[in-house]
Structure 1
């Protein structure tokens, strides 16, 4: 049996186990607003030294993505309006996720290298609740594709390090779903 067949068999077994596992129910709901994805091809060996899981590569290439978005209406799945009211102080924040793509037990996933948040009340909750590397930052976004503008700045809280982006979109740009088996799908269609 060649390596490709072994990987296919392992992938099929993993998918079978996923189908037979109990259904996943989210603990929280939230709305991602005006997400912008910025991707960088990076040296795979250098990145692997920083990531505790096997990298998931696209045609032998490694990528780090920056995902800038605003989270609105974070609320628990249970509790209805009362739960939403109790979550009000932490229900909105801007995020900048710094992430890469990994494999673990024959499944693809996302590894968060860092996450910068604008709401100081959210930052201490991330590590113990989700195991995520939350950091406080000053995040200013202007994501207005209808006006042809995408720009933002993230500054590390208490420091001088910052990252800024700016892009102009053609008028009336039409966004399309990613085509399967493309680099766009590899970079964008990841949720875990």
Structure 2
């Protein structure tokens, strides 16, 4: 089997695992269930992943890691706080609508009490990095005189809160077009509010 074929099989297993986790919860999912959904033998599954936990970690690496690295890259290149916020909130609706991140988040919330170590892994690998990234942006903008913010770490949580809520809404409460949310408009409004409320007096 070629390396490309092996990678395709691995990705098929990860996709099947996420679907099972999302529909049944992490605790209730069995390796047999993942194998059947991926149309592979249980033995084949164990050639790639030794456990459900290993699958989950692989999902974390394939879904969350690239997103946070992209955000870090964007934050390094932006010219100002306003540009950073507007760029960030142009990306967020795309991630919510076109990636598996919201479903991954739902799995975490559903099993958070039963598997605290896995939740902690996600928190450290993604949530804490995202909060640190935003807090750093706020601190730099404050020091540059662009904005006035007293508590960057706490303010960072206000910045990202609508992202988490929108992700949950997208996979839990949205059932049809009538219950959908105009994410572009929502994050444009959120960005405008942040910029206006934090803008330092006299800043351009």
TM-score band w.r.t. shorter chain: under 0.3
TM-score by length of 1: 0.22
Structure number having the greater strand percentage: 1
Task: Calculate the TM-score normalised by the size of structure 2.
Answer: 0.21
Q: Comparing both structures, which one devotes a greater share of its residues to helix?
A: 2
Task: Specify the structure having the higher radius of gyration (Cα).
Answer: 2
